[in-house]
Structure 1
Amino acid sequence: MSTPQPSPKPSPTPAPRSGGDLVVESLTALGASTVFGLPGQHALGVFDALRRSALRYVGLRVENNAGFAADAYARSTHGVAPLLVSTGPGALMTLPALQEAAAASAAVLAIGSQVPSAGVGGGRHGYLHELTDQSASFRGVVKSVHTVRTASQIPSAVAAAWESAHSAPHGPVWLEIPQDVLLAEVDVPPVTGLDAAPKEPAPRPELIAAAADRLTRARRPVILAGGGVVRAGAEAELLALAERLRAPVATTFGGKGAFPWEHPLSLQSWLEDRHTTSFLEDADTLLVVGSGLGELSSNYHTFRPRGRVVQIEADLGKLESNHAALGIHADARAALGALVEEVAARGAAGAGAAADPEADDPEAAVRGLLARVRERLAGQHLDLEQQVLASVRQALPDGAVSCWDMTILAYWAWSAFDPRGTNALHSAQGAGGLGYGFPAALGVAAADPARPVLAVSGDGGAMYSIAELATARQYDLPVTWLIVDDGGYGILREYMTDAFGAATATELARPDFAALAGSFGVPAVTTSPGRLAADLSAALAAPGPSVVVLPARLRMFAPTHLTADADA
């Protein structure tokens, strides 16, 4: 008689998976580790899937701030930053941040939900948050727009959007998925085999040969390095080329850190200075790399080159968009590396004809220019402004990152601040939206929680981001927020007073920022110019978030772009 065998145990039923799971699985397969965002009704399918994934979620309180955080995360990591938001108002709230990401070439992958499929494109079905054509709002802002209509399309669409964001020129992209597709149960294996290799434009050999010939034969070569150098990680190639040519290097505001600040060939970043503009104009060959020579990089379009221009630019639309040049459509790192191999080394000081001492001794020419800049500033009685900026530099540890809002102290930093490293200073000067500094710093801190990050705002810009004190506290992010409180929109006050003799709509009621920070559980101190360095140092050394408030009314240095001979 045979012994009865126990019945086999039934296999456990796998947990149901949805279109939202396909989204997070696709992001994970592509290498994402952190996502930013804010949930909403139509996007709940993807947010529910987050709890079944290994992705780290950093949730901000306003979608625009979540976009700024993702932007800075992408800049600081040279990677792609996923941003998850909902339909309609939630989606549209990201537009200013995505405009900044586009201007700064930050690879933000924004994934938004849509109304149920039946309502997409109609605009009259009465769904909450419904728009007639949601994606149309993004087409003029982002690099590419992607749509999904079925769950099976999700992995490929995510990969295509990722590849677009991460290919040169890097930039934000928009992907939208209907609510019912995110919620629908799927019967497919988890996503694992997904690839999205970024495409980098390679320089054409004949253009490199022509550029190398011009630079080798130039008597006074000069280099202007923009944000494209930083985004491409081409700092070593830039340094090698500059030293081989003995060419002075100026960096744009977006390119700060691309070249060592104290290097004998460094012209630093005084681009709103007529002496610097004239120096660039006098180059017989000017190499512009990673910049479109836009408004700020050309001293408000007053720059008029007298010699030849060679331009290296990954964004085809910016190539020769403002000045005629030998245009090289290429990634900055690849093009600079090729030029280093092609150009001939320039001789030592004194090797040229005595008729052009600046050409024979470019290091002396750099020292002379910087002396003229200092002399101009010395006559403007701006000791407080320079003291405050020096105190910030003194307090900020080497290697730490700073993020700057649109405020007078940031305008000073663009020209005068030494970041003491590459990819260590981020600002909103690309699109110029208020409120960037603090949420951007949160994004940088999320990328590397082991190092302190400094955010700098004015009181006007700070009010855009106050809610994110809760985010900083919730995730215990090591961000110190310096708020320069001058009682209003300081730079607009200056602009209007200079233009019209009086300012309108610039004065602001504001809270006690230190007390407000304390209500969020964030330590805060009100400081003075004399105590700023010590108070900032202490805040940056302490764990977690902190706020330092500086009541001060700072002034801008006088512009010198209005007339060619303005030295005031």
Structure 2
Amino acid sequence: MTGARSLVKTLAELGVEVVFGLPGSHGLPIWDALADASAGTAAGIRLIGVRHEQAAAHAADGYARVAGSLGVALVTTGPGAVNALRAVGEAMASASPVLVLATEVRAPQRPQGAARGSHRDVGEQESLFAPLTKATFTVGHPDEIASVVREAARIATRPQSGPVYVGVPAGFLGDPVEVREDTGRPVEPELPLPASEDVERAREALLAARSPLIWAGGGALRSGAGDAVGVLAERLAAPIITTFTARGIVPPDHPCLASNPVHAPEVGALWDEADVVLAIGTDFDGAMTQNWRMPQPPHLIAVNVDAEDAAKYYPPDSLLLGDARQVVEALSLGIPSKPGLDELTRRLDDIEVRVRRRVRKEEPHAAEFLSALKETLPEGSVLVTDMCVAGYWIGGFHRVSGPRQLALPMGWGTVGFGFPASLGVAATGAVRAVCVTGDGGFLPACAELATAIQDALPVTVVIVDDGGYGMLGYGQDAGFGYAGVDLATPDFVGLAKSFGVHADRVDGFGRAFRRLLREFTRTEEPNVLVVGAELRPPLNTSARWYRREERTIGTKYRKGRHHDDHS
């Protein structure tokens, strides 16, 4: 048993099914061990080779978001590891459990007292990842590889989840290691429930509320709290507002769901009227609260696994620390069904009608786009968006049919996330990964078309080509000089075909778009659909926020990490 085989064996014991990576000379023993299924070490792990390390980490992130399990990125020493940093930052900001495995230069290879000099050495490589991960490790002995990887996986997946870095000195990969008993997957103790008296006080506040409201964030979705949230909302006759990350946590036809974003004034009124807000698994980030312009609720109950994140922007009157699903289930005990559910459903239906009427009147092309997605996408397909105008429309207004069927880079706002993340989504075995990106966001990762075709990943890429950075152009038109946002772009259809990927182009979101989107999303192979169209940004983008006066936030609440609903 070598260090490399020990590493791969441990991944298999942890249940890892897919690894995304780019080979380098220091890490080749790991690739050899992953490929050598006959030796019993790979245990069916699929190795998907990408064209850039950033894509490896984005793909691992996309995989983790949809599979709900550990995503693994394998990168090499020095520049290979550094290339992954940007994508690791997005995973951290969006609480994706990603394990980054990187080779490092073995310390004895350096002259004593020298920081660098060995091939690809960057000195303390681990320290580069420290600000962007939950934890970092550098293996100190070949025998420690298995235990370090197990601990890293435990930390990455434990709430609040996030990426973890493990550096393995390249020389350890070929060294013999002591074979130890297989300890299997780490067994996590359940998070403790809050004190019963705290739960009872929160329950009493909800029962006494005239206008309760439930705000569900990404932590609620990741804990599997959807059913519990839906039941509690119906008993309280309370509307449910979801964050971008939590879209799909309850079915789109749930009688309490406010299906449009809180950035629409009609939905924002629900927040303004609430006398008690139950916030589940959220940190109330700026993108959802219009930079905290939403007023502090008269009474706020927060359910979270992290006390600091729960209180950094909107201090709660009651804090219930624990797993979102378990806490919400505990809250529901003893709460009878309150009157007013039918009245609430009628009001939410009216809000839906008014918001959709506004969209059709003000943004007819966006309404046509959303309608096309609703009518043509296969059941069970997963939408992955980039930071682009079309992606913002999807994040706010697309009807998401279930949890983990939408992935957006709203944590960090990373342009270029969409396409490589959709490769990870496709690798989960989703019915179809459908990536919606802009012409600017697609180009940084266009080389991954080779990955898509080589690994036969079922992904449809919809490139909305408006000739530049449309969101930035809108912002410049609104009050800045106009420069730097128009792009010279390639023939995207020809580019895709040069990789052997089927592609076509249409103008607008009309009948031809619907026909091709239906056709493209019902094939097995990857394909690209280019749409010549311009969309005006939706209400959930900062340039169109309707709240103008910023709420005063104490200094201590501004110091937190700016994650999107990560806990």
Is the structural similarity TM-score above 0.5? Answer: yes
Q: Name the amino acid aligned to 1:445.
A: A
* Match 2:321 to one of 329, 334, 341: 329
TM superposition shift of 1:373? 2.9
Q: 1:496 to 1:46 in 2, by over 3 A?
A: same
Q: Name the amino acid aligned to 1:521.
A: G
Structure 2 match to 1:543:
524
Residue deviations 1:317-363 (CA, integer Å, cap 9, x gap)? 3111111111222221111121122433212569xxxxxxxxxx322
Q: 1:539 to 1:345 in 2, by over 3 A?
A: same
Residue deviations 1:480-507 (CA, integer Å, cap 9, x gap)? 100001111111111122121x321111
**Could you tell me how far apart the structure 1 residues matched to 2:181 and 2:436 are?**
41
**Could you tell me how far apart the structure 1 residues matched to 2:321 and 2:339 are?**
30
Structure 2 match to 1:387:
368
Structure 2 match to 1:489:
469
Asked whether the 8 Å contact 2:260–2:352 carries over to 1, the reply is no
TM superposition shift of 1:212? 1.2
Q: Structure 2 length as normaliser, TM-score?
A: 0.90
Q: 1:89 to 1:198 in 2, by over 3 A?
A: farther
The answer on 1:363 being equivalent to 2:345 is: yes
**Could you tell me how far apart the structure 2 residues matched to 1:200 and 1:117 are?**
39
* Match 1:373 to one of 352, 355, 362: 355
Instruction: Give aligned-pair identity as a percent.
Output: 32
TM superposition shift of 1:229? 1.6
TM superposition shift of 1:122? 5.6
**Could you tell me how far apart the structure 1 residues matched to 2:161 and 2:72 are?**
14
Structure 1 consecutive aligned stretches of length 4 or more whose deviation exceeds 6 Å: none
Q: 1:170 to 1:140 in 2, by over 3 A?
A: same
TM superposition shift of 1:379? 4.7
Q: 1:227 to 1:142 in 2, by over 3 A?
A: same
Residue deviations 1:408-429 (CA, integer Å, cap 9, x gap)? 0111111110011221000111
The answer on 1:340 being equivalent to 2:332 is: yes
**Could you tell me how far apart the structure 2 residues matched to 1:281 and 1:119 are?**
63
TM superposition shift of 1:48? 2.1
**SS of the residue aligned with 1:387?**
helix
Q: 1:214 to 1:549 in 2, by over 3 A?
A: same
Residue deviations 1:430-478 (CA, integer Å, cap 9, x gap)? 11111111111111111116x1110110000000111110001001111
Asked whether the 8 Å contact 2:381–2:432 carries over to 1, the reply is yes
Structure 2 match to 1:240:
231
Asked whether the 8 Å contact 1:282–1:305 carries over to 2, the reply is no
Structure 2 match to 1:49:
33
Asked whether the 8 Å contact 1:272–1:561 carries over to 2, the reply is yes
Q: Name the amino acid aligned to 2:455.
A: Y
Asked whether the 8 Å contact 2:10–2:150 carries over to 1, the reply is yes
Q: 1:156 to 1:218 in 2, by over 3 A?
A: same
Q: 1:348 to 1:316 in 2, by over 3 A?
A: closer
**Could you tell me how far apart the structure 2 residues matched to 1:177 and 1:285 are?**
50
Residue deviations 1:51-72 (CA, integer Å, cap 9, x gap)? 2223210111111111111011
**Could you tell me how far apart the structure 2 residues matched to 1:94 and 1:198 are?**
28
Q: Name the amino acid aligned to 1:516.
A: L
Structure 2 match to 1:398:
379
Q: Name the amino acid aligned to 1:145.
A: T
* Match 2:398 to one of 417, 441, 444: 417
* Match 1:108 to one of 75, 95, 98: 98
The answer on 1:176 being equivalent to 2:158 is: no
Greater mean alpha carbon deviation, residues 117-126 or residues 239-248 = 117-126
**Could you tell me how far apart the structure 1 residues matched to 2:114 and 2:486 are?**
41
Structure 2 match to 1:256:
247
**SS of the residue aligned with 2:137?**
strand
**Could you tell me how far apart the structure 1 residues matched to 2:467 and 2:113 are?**
47
Count of residue correspondences: 535
Structure 1 match to 2:6:
22
Structure 2 match to 1:136:
127
**Could you tell me how far apart the structure 1 residues matched to 2:67 and 2:219 are?**
15
**SS of the residue aligned with 2:311?**
coil
Which structure carries more relative contact order (alpha carbon 8 Å, separation 6+)?
2
Q: 1:368 to 1:113 in 2, by over 3 A?
A: same
Structure 2 match to 1:93:
83
Pairwise mapping of residues 59-458 of structure 1 onto structure 2 (< 5 A)? 59-119=49-109, 124-186=115-177, 188-189=178-179, 192-204=182-194, 205-325=196-316, 326-348=318-340, 361-380=343-362, 382-448=363-429, 451-458=431-438
Asked whether the 8 Å contact 2:307–2:319 carries over to 1, the reply is no
**SS of the residue aligned with 1:397?**
coil
TM superposition shift of 1:560? 3.4
Q: 1:220 to 1:119 in 2, by over 3 A?
A: farther
Structure 1 match to 2:515:
534
Greater mean alpha carbon deviation, residues 173-182 or residues 51-60 = 51-60
**Could you tell me how far apart the structure 2 residues matched to 1:103 and 1:122 are?**
36
**Could you tell me how far apart the structure 1 residues matched to 2:404 and 2:113 are?**
44
**Could you tell me how far apart the structure 1 residues matched to 2:354 and 2:30 are?**
57
* Match 1:470 to one of 446, 450, 454: 450
Asked whether the 8 Å contact 2:237–2:341 carries over to 1, the reply is no
Unpaired runs of 5+ residues, structure 1, are: 1-16, 351-360
Q: Name the amino acid aligned to 1:159.
A: R
The answer on 1:39 being equivalent to 2:29 is: no
Q: 1:378 to 1:28 in 2, by over 3 A?
A: closer
**SS of the residue aligned with 2:279?**
strand
Asked whether the 8 Å contact 2:290–2:547 carries over to 1, the reply is no
TM superposition shift of 1:39? 1.4
**SS of the residue aligned with 2:4?**
helix
**Could you tell me how far apart the structure 2 residues matched to 1:81 and 1:152 are?**
24
Structure 2 match to 1:515:
494
**Could you tell me how far apart the structure 1 residues matched to 2:372 and 2:20 are?**
33
Asked whether the 8 Å contact 1:167–1:200 carries over to 2, the reply is no
Q: Structure 1 length as normaliser, TM-score?
A: 0.90
Asked whether the 8 Å contact 1:238–1:336 carries over to 2, the reply is yes
TM superposition shift of 1:375? 4.8
Q: 1:66 to 1:421 in 2, by over 3 A?
A: same
The answer on 1:561 being equivalent to 2:551 is: no
TM superposition shift of 1:555? 0.9
TM superposition shift of 1:371? 4.1
Larger Rg: 1
Residue deviations 1:94-115 (CA, integer Å, cap 9, x gap)? 1121111112211101111100
Q: 1:125 to 1:172 in 2, by over 3 A?
A: closer
Q: 1:317 to 1:147 in 2, by over 3 A?
A: farther
Q: Name the amino acid aligned to 2:537.
A: M
**SS of the residue aligned with 1:541?**
coil
Q: 1:394 to 1:133 in 2, by over 3 A?
A: same
TM superposition shift of 1:315? 3.4
Unpaired runs of 5+ residues, structure 2, are: 37-41, 551-567
Structure 1 match to 2:459:
479
**SS of the residue aligned with 2:445?**
coil
Asked whether the 8 Å contact 2:501–2:526 carries over to 1, the reply is yes
Asked whether the 8 Å contact 1:489–1:507 carries over to 2, the reply is yes
Structure 1 match to 2:439:
459
